[in-house]
Amino acid sequence: MENPLLGHEPLPPFARIRPEHVEPGVRELLERSRARIEQLAALERPTFATVIEPLEELQHRVSRTWSPVSHLNAVLNSDALRSGYNACLPLLSAYQTDLAQSEPLYRAYRTIAEQESAALGPVQKQLIDHALRDFRLAGVGLDAERKERFKNVMLELTQLQAKFEENVLDATNGWSYHICDESELRGLNSTLIEQARKRGHEQRVEGWILTLDQPTYVAVVTDAESETLRRAFYEAWATRASDQGPNAGRWDNSGVMADILRLRHEAARLLEFTSYAEYALSTRMAHSVHEVMEFLLEMARTARAAALKEFEDLESFAGRKLAAWDVGFYAERLQRSRYSVSQEEMRPYFPMPHVLTGLFEVATRLFGIRITERQDVPVWHPDVRFFEIQAADGQPIGSFYLDAYARSNKRSGAWMDECVGRKRLNSGSALPVAYLVCNFLPPSGDRPALLTHDDVLTLFHEFGHGLHHLLTRVDYPSIAGINGVSWDAVELPSQFLENYAWHPDVLRRISSHVETKVPLPPETQARLIATRSFHAGLQMMRQLEFALFDFRLHAEYDPAKGARVMEMLREVRSEVAVVPVPEWNRFPNSFGHIFAGGYAAGYYSYKWAEVLAADAFAAFEENGVFDSKTAHRFLDAILTRGGSRDALDAFIEFRGRRPDVRALLKQHGILAPGELAA
């Protein structure tokens, strides 16, 4: 029977994929790919058509075969799937490193760049430039011994990063809170309480069982009146996969983090970079460690006074000193007191089906696309939905899966990932397909899922990433969609689209009370919009704390001193933190963005791209937020280009100038030093 991972269907056959297919399928695919690479590397007269296009096809095939495996490991984790996934990580790491360290292929790309220069278009030249850069960053120029060591380091890192993520998932699933006294539930929404009651019934215990999934954690620390409950959840969440907290030492990531940092530094030094941060910046908009540090510190200087004042006001409102598990609770009440707006009270106005319809209308008005649902596509869970995107003339553009709700054995957080990349090669064509994943509270009974406005922002954010992947017009997979885009610019489309979830016209379209069907009243809209700058200083300082911690950890790593993870975090917090945290907080141990994801020495990208996004949206505000000319400029300069053009050049093409930080400060109501309020 044919392995479903090796078929040629346009979409993954999720109904037929089993854990036992994973390792045999990947081994067979890589064996075939290696044989083809040997043929390509041996060609005496390499050309773009005979070497580069076939390699693009090979990488497309590897990516689309591995994509459903990696995805299922994140959204439907099991012991059997995890075993197959982990068995393949060293195979894929070795394959990618061997490919990137191939001296014959490196020479072939250089030959093609020199001999076909006049015949190549700008996109093809950019593809070659990226490939040559990546060859160098993979150690193609190293001697045999150092090349082999680099390969082994990459392999170890792949395995360690997977282990980090597994520990966080196991720690999250490994804790729950049993409540017997109903009064402890005061403040929590009815959907959450009903789910906790059902869970208790299923486990044959009296009362309610709350789990540590992300929406439950956020709801508890924001809304639970019981300080005991808030503290228990905060401690369990903030000590996941660490040597502290209720499961201390059971899934401890401390050693994993130390090894990851050591190996990243070693990899950078093998390539003669001074640090991993310097190595990471070789593919980004920011050009130096100094530039990133100055950016972060300047933002911190700008926002600190506002953040200190906000926290002082919050403690004054609470009438006491606040612990970390109190901040969200009292902030929600202060916001409610000041604006008569509560995230929980917003839920009835944002039923998921209506929000989704409104979101799609925004995309249609901006970019002229049409989005329709298909229900005959195999999916991995009954909650998952599938949508197709067409151009105004009916031509298919791409499609995406939406997996919106939290459940056990699903990674926390929200993300967009590539299922299938776009390609248009002599060997054939493929339209892009994306995964959009969130962790919202699921529907309850006959009621649809009800979102907070924060959830709405998350949905818009991930859909922005999706549009970046799906609306690309680049034909070569390695630089189509989000591929090849500078990491500190990849958040631009996602953060740009969030702005629409704050606009009155859009709020009216995406809101419909679950019972009365009435949209959010204008006065409530106005109060909600006013909350956008609520605690903007505190939120910015929190993001800057994470970014500085990440960047300094990778820029200042010293093998003689070791990882210094908690020591570095204390140093950063002493300089920029406003909200105090307990000594036993082990936030880094679950910081998957930098230890398991792609944001190592790159968490600053969120704030960097937020500047780009605010400035881009300001262009729409100048001309009308649905102005078709501005929207098509954004589509042409940013969304369709993928990695085929330098990110700064693309931004300048759209905006007519370099980015300006003042748009972001204005958006958040934060004044630059020396600036007077109007």
In angstroms, rounded to a whole number, what is the distance separating the alpha carbons of residues 617 and 610? 10
Q: Which of 586, 602, 618 is the last residue of a domain?
A: 602
678 has a pLDDT exceeding 80:
no
**Torsions phi, psi for 380 (to 5 deg):** -95, -10
Q: Are residues 363 and 426 in the same domain?
A: yes
Token digits of residue 610: 């937020």
User: CATH number for the domain including 9?
Assistant: 1.20.1050.40
Does 47 reside within a domain? yes
Q: Are residues 386 and 506 in the same domain?
A: yes
**pLDDT tens for each residue of 501-541:** 999 999 999 999 999 999 999 999 999 999 999 999 999 99
Alpha-helical (H) ranges within 140-247 are: 144-173, 190-202, 214-223, 227-238
- Give the dihedral sign, CA 662/666/670/673: positive
User: CATH number for the domain including 292?
Assistant: 1.10.1370.10
354 has a pLDDT exceeding 80:
yes
In angstroms, rounded to a whole number, what is the distance separating the alpha carbons of residues 484 and 647? 10
Q: In this structure, which amino acid lies at residue 672?
A: A
Q: Are residues 373 and 307 in the same domain?
A: no
In angstroms, rounded to a whole number, what is the distance separating the alpha carbons of residues 82 and 85? 5
Say which DSSP state 558 is in.
B
Q: Are residues 354 and 479 in the same domain?
A: yes
**pLDDT tens for each residue of 225-264:** 999 999 999 999 999 999 999 999 999 999 999 999 999 9
674 has a pLDDT exceeding 70:
no
**pLDDT tens for each residue of 294-304:** 999 999 999 99
pLDDT of residue 29: 98
pLDDT of residue 670: 83
Does 564 reside within a domain? yes
pLDDT of residue 671: 62
Does 592 reside within a domain? yes
Does 387 reside within a domain? yes
**pLDDT tens for each residue of 134-150:** 999 999 999 999 999 99
Does 168 reside within a domain? no
What is the average pLDDT score of the chain?
96
Catalytic residues: 462
Q: Which of 602, 619, 641 is the last residue of a domain?
A: 602
Q: Are residues 127 and 64 in the same domain?
A: yes
User: CATH number for the domain including 496?
Assistant: 1.10.1370.40
Q: How far is residue 566 from each of residues 31, 498, 604, 609, measured CA to CA in Å?
A: 43, 33, 19, 27
581 has a pLDDT exceeding 70:
yes
Token digits of residue 206: 């009296």
**pLDDT tens for each residue of 321-341:** 999 999 999 999 999 999 999
Q: Are residues 505 and 452 in the same domain?
A: yes
**pLDDT tens for each residue of 509-519:** 999 999 999 99
Containing structural domain, residue 205 = 174-238
Q: Which of 569, 602, 635 is the last residue of a domain?
A: 602
**Torsions phi, psi for 457 (to 5 deg):** -60, -40
Cβ contact 397:382 at 8 Å: no
Cβ contact 251:167 at 8 Å: yes
Does 93 reside within a domain? yes
- pTM of structure: 0.94
Q: Are residues 530 and 551 in the same domain?
A: no
676 has a pLDDT exceeding 70:
no
Q: In this structure, which amino acid lies at residue 435?
A: Y
pLDDT of residue 200: 96
- Give the dihedral sign, CA 67/71/73/78: negative
pLDDT of residue 8: 87
Q: In this structure, which amino acid lies at residue 598?
A: G
- pLDDT level of residue 673 (50, 70, 90 thresholds): very low
pLDDT of residue 675: 45
- E strands in 207-340: 208-211
Q: How far is residue 494 from each of residues 62, 121, 410, 533, 606, measured CA to CA in Å?
A: 27, 29, 22, 19, 10
> What is the percent of the chain where pLDDT is above 90?
97
Q: Are residues 359 and 403 in the same domain?
A: yes
User: Exposure of 651 by Cβ count < 10 A (0-12 exposed, 13-18 middle, 19+ buried)?
Assistant: buried
User: Exposure of 517 by Cβ count < 10 A (0-12 exposed, 13-18 middle, 19+ buried)?
Assistant: exposed
Does 676 reside within a domain? no
1 has a pLDDT exceeding 80:
no
Token digits of residue 302: 């700008």
The residue behind tokens 């017997």 is: 180
In angstroms, rounded to a whole number, what is the distance separating the alpha carbons of residues 620 and 622? 5
pLDDT of residue 669: 87
- pLDDT level of residue 156 (50, 70, 90 thresholds): very high
Q: Are residues 615 and 546 in the same domain?
A: no
The residue behind tokens 């804790």 is: 175
Cβ contact 110:132 at 8 Å: yes
Q: Are residues 515 and 544 in the same domain?
A: no
- pLDDT level of residue 445 (50, 70, 90 thresholds): confident
Q: Are residues 294 and 384 in the same domain?
A: no
pLDDT of residue 677: 33
Does 678 reside within a domain? no
Token digits of residue 515: 């019972």
State mean pLDDT over 18-47: 97
Domains held by the chain: number: 4
The bridge status of strand 433-440 relative to strand 396-405 is parallel
Q: Are residues 454 and 352 in the same domain?
A: yes
